[in-house]
Chain A
Amino acid sequence: MTDERLKELLRGAISPPDAEERRRDLWPQMAARLEERPRWSYIDLGLAAAAAVALAVFPEWLWLLAYHL
Chain B
Amino acid sequence: MQDEPDRELLRRFTHGDRDAFEALFRQFEREVYRWILRIVRESAAAEDALIEAFWRAYRGRARFDSSRSFGAWMRRIATNVAIDQLKAHRRHKWSPLDDEAQIPAGSMTRRGGRAGQGPDSFELADQIHRAFVSLPPKLQVVATLALIEELPLAEIADALDIPPGTVKSRLFRATRDLRTQLTRVGLHT
Whether B147 lies near A15 (C-beta < 8 A) is: no
A23 interface contact, C-beta 8 A:
yes
A2-10, A39-47, A56-64 - interface stretch: A2-10
Instruction: Name the A residues within 8 Å of B148 (CB-CB).
Output: 7, 10-11, 14
Interface contacts (Cβ under 8 Å), in number, total: 105
- Chain B contact residues: helix, strand, loop or mixed: helix
Q: How many residues of B contact A (CB 8 A)?
A: 48
Which of B22, B30, B126, B147 has the most A CB atoms < 10 Å from its CB? B147
Mask of B1-40 contacts with A, CB within 8 angstroms, 1/0: 0000000000000000010011001100110011001100
Instruction: Name the A residues within 8 Å of B83 (CB-CB).
Output: none
Separation of A12 and B108 alpha carbons in the complex (Å): 13
- Chain A contact residues: helix, strand, loop or mixed: helix
Whether A22 lies near B114 (C-beta < 8 A) is: no
Q: How many residues of A contact B (CB 8 A)?
A: 27
- Chain B residues with a Cβ under 8 A of chain A: 18, 21-22, 25-26, 29-30, 33-34, 37-38, 41-43, 46-47, 50-51, 54-55, 58, 108-112, 114-116, 124-126, 128-129, 132, 143-144, 147-148, 150, 175, 178-179, 182-183, 187-189
